[in-house]
Amino acid sequence: MLDRKHLPRKMLRVEKQFTGPQKIMDVGGNGSGLPVNNKQRAMLPNKTRGEFTRNQRKDSEGQSESPDLEFEYSDTDKWAAELSELYSYTEGPEFALNRKCFEEEFRVHVSDKKWTELDEAQHRAHAMRLLDSLEVTAREKRLKVARAILYMAQGTFAECSSEVEVQHWMRYNIFLLLDVGTFSALVELLNMEIDNSAACSSAVRKPAISLADSTDLRVLLNIMYMMVETIQQDDPADKPEWKIIKETFRTELGSPLFNNEPISVMLFGMVTKFCSGHAPHFPMKKVLLLLWKSILFTLGGFEQLQSIKVRKREELGLPPLPEDSIRVIRSMRAASPPASASDLIEQQQKRARREHKALIKQDNLDAFNEKDPYKADDSREDEDDNDDNDNSIEAETFPLERDEVMPPPIPHPPSERVSFPKGLPWAPKVREKDIENFLESSRSKFIGYTLGSDTDTVVGLPRPIHESIKTLKQHKYVSIAELQITKEEEFQKTPLSGGEEEVETCATELLYQGILPSLPQYMIALLKILLAAAPTSKAKTDSINILADVLPEEMPTTVLQSMKLGVDVNRHKEIIVKAISAILLLLLKHFKLNHIYQFEYMAQHLVFANCIPLILKFFNQNIMSYITAKNSISVLDFPYCVVHELPELTAESLEAGDNNQFCWRNLFSCINLLRILNKLTKWKHSRTMMLVVFKSAPILKRALKVKQAMMQLYVLKLLKVQTKYLGRQWRKSNMKTMSAIYQKVRHRLNDDWAYGNDLDARPWDFQAEECALRANIERFNSRRYDKSHSNPDFLPVDNCLQSVLGQRVDLPEDFQMNYDLWLEREVFSKPISWEELLQ
C-alpha cells in the first residue's frame, strides 16, 4: 500500500472523488445506463443483451472510421476567432449603440462625409478630439466617448461591406488610436473603475448581477483587448512606422510604466479582487483574455520561447538542442483509435474457448496473457480497468507483431513535415545523475567500492561497462536549469566572494518582480475561477459567480432565448478555461527559462492550491464530448454579425451548431492542462505519487481516445512516469499503451520506467521533499529580491577617513537656520580634552 499519511488532509478529501469505480455507463447514448461488466452483462435478458451488442457495434463502427483531428497547435486561434470570443452573444445589441455614439460625435465635428472618405490628417484630428473628451468628469458623457472609440477599434463596420474590409479598418484605426496615446488614457480610466468603491459596494449588495453592472469596465476592456490582439498580429503589409509603434508598445506593456507596475500585474489584481468577493461585477472573461494576450505579446509565444532557449544555451556554452520539439510534435501522427466493448467481448469469448481446450504450460500462458490485453484476474483490475475498457487504446493487434505500427499519415503541406530516419522521433537524453548512478552501481558490483560523483575513472570495470558509459556520455543532456541551480548554490555558499549577480532586465524578470509579493493569491484565484468554469464542477452556494458578464438584465422568456443563453453560458466557460490554461502554461514556461527557482515558486503554489487533483477532475468527464462540443452560433460571431443580415435563428439551427470536426478552443485547453500537469510532476517523485494516489491512470487512458498526436503525447508522458507504481497486472493488461509510450515518448537511457526496479521506487514523504524545495526557493527570493532584509554583517563598510568626511550630508532646513546656536551649545561651550582625544 502507498504511504498516504504525509498527504495534506485537503488532498485526501479530494482523492475520494477519484477512488470509486464507475460501475454503470450509459451505452450507445440511449440513456439506459446498461452495465458494461461481463458478469453483469451475462445476467441481462437475451433481448437486452442483443441491443447492447448492436449499440456497441454501431459505436465501434463510428469510432474506427473517425479520422485524425486536423488540429494544429499554436499560440492562439485565428484572428477572427480570437476577436469573436471577446464578446458574448448577450452583448449583441451594443454594437449598434457604439455606432450611434460615434456618429453623434462625428456629425458635430465633421461634415456629411464618411469616416472611410477622410484623409489621414482628418482621422488623426478626430481621434485627438475623442481622446480629449475622455477626460470629462461626467460619467455618461465619458461612456459615450469610450463607446465611440470602441466603434473605431471595431473597424467602423457600418461603412464596410465584408469581414476583410472590417479587419483592414480595424488595423488602421487601432494603430491611429495607439499613436495618439489612447492606451495610456484607457489604463488610467480602468484604474479609476477598479477603485470605484460605489460600484463595488452596489454590486456586493445586489442579489443578481448582470451585464448592466459592468458596462463601463466592459467598454474599456474591449478597446484594450482589441488593441493588444490586433497589434500583436504580424502583417507583412504593415508600414515601417507601424512596426516601430508595435515594438514600442510591446516594451511599454511589459515595463512598469502604468502605476509603477506592468499592465499584467494590474490585471492580476483585478482577478484577486473579484475572487475575494469585493468586486463581483468585474467582467472576468474579458480580464482574463486581456491578461493572456498581454503576457503573450510582452513575453512571446512558443516559437519565441524556442529561440530564447537556443540563444541561452549558446551563451552558457551548452551544446545545441538535439531537435526542434515544435516541429517534431507537429510531424507526429495519432495512435490508432480506442477499442469498442463488442471487440472486448468477442476476444474474451475466444480466449475462454481456447482455455477450455487443454491445459497450457505456465510459461506459454504468461506469453499468451501479454498478448491478450484484457486478462483481468484480480479485483483491482475490475475496479480500475474493466469499467474503462471501452475507453482504452488496447483493442488492436499488439503493434510489435505487425509491420505497420501507425495508421497512414494525413497529408500535410510539405513545409510542415520533417523527414526522420526510420526509428523513434526523439533523441534519447541522459542526465549527469543517471551516469553517476550507473557508475556507482557498477563499481559496487565489480570492484566493491564507490568514488562518489567521479564519472571519468573506469579502472577495474569490464569492457562492456566502458562501452555503456561511452554511450551514456554521448547522449548526456545538460539543461539550463541545472546550471542555474549550481550557480545559485555557489552564491549561497560564498555571498561575499561570489560577486554581484547580473540579472537581465527582460519582460519576464519585470513581470516576476511585479507578481512576486502576491503570487500565491494570484494562483489560488486563477484555480478558483478554473474550478468554477470546469464542466465537471457542480453548482455550489460557496463557488464564485463567473457569469456576471454574460447574463442579461431580463432573463429569457422563450425556449429559443433560453437555448441561446445556454449556448452563450457554455461558450463563456470554455473561453475562461482556455484563457487560464494558456496563462498558466505561458508563465510556467517563461519562468523556467528565466530562472528555475522562479518556475519552482509558481509550480509549488499551484500544487499547494490543489492544481493536480483539479486538472484530473477536469479530465474525469467524457473528453470526446467536450472536444467536439458545439457551443457557438457562427452567425452571431463578430465581425460576421455586423456586416451581414442575420438569418432568423431557430431551435433546430441552434441544436445543429457548426460543421467543425472539433472545437479548437477546447482541444487547445485540454493540451495546455496536460502540459501544465507534466510541468508540475516532472522529476518530482512526491507529485508523481499524487497522480497514483488520485488514480489518474484510468482518467488519462480515457483521454487517449482523442485522435490528436500532441494530446496523446502528453497523456502518454503522464502515464509513463507512474507506470512502475501501477503494478505488474496493470502493465500486462495495458500492453498497447506501453507500446504507444515506447513509440512516442522520449527515452531516458537507464530509465526502467516500465518496471519496478528504479531507485526512486521508495517510500515517499510529500512534506519533506516540498519543504526542502521551498527552503531553496525562499533563499533564492530573499537573496535576489529582498534587499531590505539583507544581513548587515555582509554589507560593505567604508573605512577611509577622507571618503567618509567627504560625503555630502543633506541637513534639514531648521538645522541650517540655527547653525550658530548649535555650534555654541555643542562645540564652544564644551571643554575638550585634547590629550585624551589624541590617545
At 649, is the pLDDT very low, low, confident or very high (cuts 50, 70, 90)?
confident
- Determine, yes or no, domain membership for 585: yes
**Same domain, yes or no: 450 and 536:** no
pLDDT tens track for 551-573: 998 888 898 999 999 999 999 99
Contact 692, 11 (CB under 8 A): no
How far apart are the C-alpha atoms of 102 and 169, rounded to whole Å?
A: 15
**Same domain, yes or no: 442 and 576:** no
pLDDT tens track for 248-261: 999 999 988 877 88
Q: Is 444 exposed, middle or buried (0-12, 13-18, 19+ CB in 10 A)?
A: exposed
| Residues 31, 543, 608: CA angle, nearest 5 degrees | 105
pLDDT computed for residue 3 by the predictor? 47
**Same domain, yes or no: 450 and 554:** no
**Same domain, yes or no: 95 and 235:** yes
Q: Quick count: other Cβ atoms within 10 Å of Cβ 465?
A: 17
How far apart are the C-alpha atoms of 28 and 21, rounded to whole Å?
A: 20
Q: Is 429 helix (H, G, I), strand (E, B) or coil?
A: strand
Instruction: State the chain's mean pLDDT as an integer.
Output: 81
> What are the backbone dihedrals phi and psi of residue 727, each rounded to the nearest 5 degrees, phi first?
95, 155
At 703, is the pLDDT very low, low, confident or very high (cuts 50, 70, 90)?
very high
- Determine, yes or no, domain membership for 611: yes
Helices assigned H by DSSP within 705-812: 709-722, 728-733, 735-744, 766-785, 801-805
- Determine, yes or no, domain membership for 553: yes
Contacts of 28 (CB under 8 A, 6+ apart): 52, 55, 56, 58, 59
- Determine, yes or no, domain membership for 714: no
Q: What are residue 748's DSSP bridge partners?
A: 429
Q: What are residue 708's DSSP bridge partners?
A: none
Contact 733, 692 (CB under 8 A): no
Of residues 175 and 340, more confidence is placed in 175
pLDDT computed for residue 211 by the predictor? 87
> What are the backbone dihedrals phi and psi of residue 309, each rounded to the nearest 5 degrees, phi first?
-65, -45
Q: Is 620 helix (H, G, I), strand (E, B) or coil?
A: coil
- Cα-based torsion angle of the residue sequence 207, 209, 210, 211 in order, rounded to the nearest 10 degrees: 150
Say yes or no to pLDDT of 403 above 70.
no
- Determine, yes or no, domain membership for 803: no
How far apart are the C-alpha atoms of 616 and 542, rounded to whole Å?
A: 21
**Same domain, yes or no: 456 and 526:** no
Mean pLDDT, rounded, for 42-69: 44
783: cell is 537573496
Task: Kindly list the distances between the CA atom of residue 821 and the CA atoms of 389, 808, 811, 813, 824, in Å, as whole numbers in the listed order.
Answer: 95, 22, 15, 14, 5
Q: How many percent of the chain have pLDDT more than 90? A: 48
Q: How far apart are the first and last CA of the chain?
A: 78
How far apart are the C-alpha atoms of 554 and 805, rounded to whole Å?
A: 76
Given the C-alpha cell 458635430, which residue does it identify?
108
Contact 209, 280 (CB under 8 A): yes
**Same domain, yes or no: 131 and 231:** yes
Say yes or no to pLDDT of 375 above 50.
no
**Same domain, yes or no: 468 and 524:** no
| Residues 461, 463, 469: CA angle, nearest 5 degrees | 75
**Same domain, yes or no: 163 and 283:** yes
Given the C-alpha cell 502605476, which residue does it identify?
259
Q: Which of 689, 682, 715, 690 is nearest to 700 (CA)?
A: 715
Of residues 542 and 79, more confidence is placed in 79
Q: Which of 681, 705, 728 is the last residue of a domain?
A: 681
Helices 240-254 and 163-179: angle between axes, nearest 10 degrees: 60
Find the length of the chain.
Answer: 839
Q: Is 337 helix (H, G, I), strand (E, B) or coil?
A: coil
Mean pLDDT, rounded, for 445-449: 84
Contact 699, 619 (CB under 8 A): yes
At 728, is the pLDDT very low, low, confident or very high (cuts 50, 70, 90)?
confident
pLDDT computed for residue 198 by the predictor? 85
- Residue 205's domain comprises 79-299+519-681
261: cell is 507596475
Q: Which of 422, 447, 475 is the last residue of a domain?
A: 475
How far apart are the C-alpha atoms of 298 and 157, rounded to whole Å?
A: 29
**Same domain, yes or no: 468 and 532:** no
Q: Is 607 exposed, middle or buried (0-12, 13-18, 19+ CB in 10 A)?
A: buried
Mean pLDDT, rounded, for 38-51: 40
Say yes or no to pLDDT of 270 above 60.
yes
At 305, is the pLDDT very low, low, confident or very high (cuts 50, 70, 90)?
very high
Give pTM, 2 decimals: 0.80
Mean pLDDT, rounded, for 823-829: 84
At 618, is the pLDDT very low, low, confident or very high (cuts 50, 70, 90)?
very high
Say yes or no to pLDDT of 343 above 60.
no
**Same domain, yes or no: 462 and 529:** no
**Same domain, yes or no: 150 and 279:** yes
Q: What domain count does the chain have? A: 2
How far apart are the C-alpha atoms of 805 and 312, rounded to whole Å?
A: 46
Mean pLDDT, rounded, for 163-188: 93
**Same domain, yes or no: 622 and 523:** yes
At 394, is the pLDDT very low, low, confident or very high (cuts 50, 70, 90)?
very low
Mean pLDDT, rounded, for 218-235: 95
Given the C-alpha cell 470526446, which residue does it identify?
624
pLDDT tens track for 783-819: 999 876 556 666 667 778 777 777 888 888 888 888 8
The least confident of 118-132, 212-226, 601-615, 755-769 is 755-769
pLDDT tens track for 117-140: 888 999 999 999 999 988 887 889
